[in-house]
Amino acid sequence: MNLIDLGWNQDFEDKLAQTKKRDDFQIARVAIEYKGMYKLYTEAGEVLAEVKGKMRYNNNFPAVGDWVVIDLQDNGARAIIHDILPRKSKFSRKVAGDDTKEQIVAANIDTIFIVTSLNQDFNLRRLERYLTIAWDSGAKPVIVLSKADLCEDPEAKKVEVETVAFGVPIHIVSSLSGEGLNELEEYLETGYTAALLGSSGVGKSTIINQLMGSEKMEVNEIRVSDGRGKHTTTHRELIVLETGGIVIDTPGMREIQLWDGSEGIKESFEDIEALAQRCKFNDCQHDSEPGCAVKKAIEEGELTEERLESYRKLERELLFIERKKKYGTVRAAKLMNKDIFGF
């Protein structure tokens, strides 16, 4: 494989020059993460690898899309990962459950395709959450409205999305008819990487099959009762397209929590952020304060209560995560109760 086809460029070359790399070490990109093992793509082909002991001890593990420094062993049959090059971007979330740990979903991506289907699963509030995390990743978000064939008026849904996704490209696609898929190829030039993210059953694997021109990714039919698809992808995987470009498929996310979305919130809710600048008081909570520009916008129909509540919810969630990192769960919960209830 050609490293340039895998996404290698001068920026990574400069980062490599800053590492302590032996002459016999090589460069690879992480394609699949298994339990304790990784499939890597190198110039010589695919190889299975594991991280060296020091990295494991320091809990320093690569993610799909990472560039790693490796030592090939057993005549190239396996490899040891010695280092991870600094990432230019990463899409991460808090791990599911109570643990306050970061899970990196995909690394070194240029574009994030946020895929949401145009059936009963369509949800603007979930889309706001995805956009918040996407903006914080360092990659550029692109919204893909899938399964257009299951929607009576896709353009009306697109108009709804435009009210929460300012300046974000939006594409309507149908894997059944092929509508809009050629528009996605414009983001997949040679060496460019796009990650597909979205809930289970929104059609990510089907889109990848269409882009590949083959049935590599297993897909399942959606349930008629609720319009939801069955979960198909079970792991994250980097796929190099024959037409150029790279896509990273990810499992559908049943739970997606913020990790570090402060900048992402500002980008996703730039309408509320701009309105807040016009409030009479700098510390306005947009509740009952006089001279609140946000409340005025709601009264005049320029902003919905649901969007303001979504903004507040994500801000509270981010604050709670930051406090958990610093103080632990118990004290973080007490501080949040004090903020909300005054005790």
In this structure, what are the phi and psi dihedrals at residue 265, rounded to the nearest 5 degrees? -65, -40
Question: Which residue type does 284 have?
Answer: C
Please give the helix or strand (H or E) that residue 142 lies within, else none.
strand 140-146
204 is in an annotated binding site: yes
Closest by CA position to 98, among listed 286, 308, 257, 291: 257
Q: Is 89 annotated as a binding residue?
A: no
286 carries a ligand binding annotation: yes
Is 295 annotated for ligand binding?
A: no
Residue 119 · residue 222 · CB < 8 Å: yes
Strand pairing report for 38-42 and 26-33: antiparallel
For residue 201, give the 3-state DSSP assignment.
coil
Question: In 119-269, where does DSSP find H-type helix?
Answer: 124-137, 154-162, 181-184, 204-212, 262-268
Is 200 annotated to bind a ligand? Reply is yes
Say if residue 167 carries a ligand binding annotation.
Answer: no
State CA 110 to chain mean position distance: 11
How many alpha carbons fall within 13 Å on the CB side of residue 2? 10
57: its two tokens:
């001890």
146 among annotated binding-site residues: yes
Query: Does 151 appear as a known binding residue?
Result: no
Annotated binding site for GTP: 146-149, 198-206
Annotated binding site for Zn(2+): 279, 284, 286, 292
Annotated binding site: 146-149, 198-206, 279, 284, 286, 292
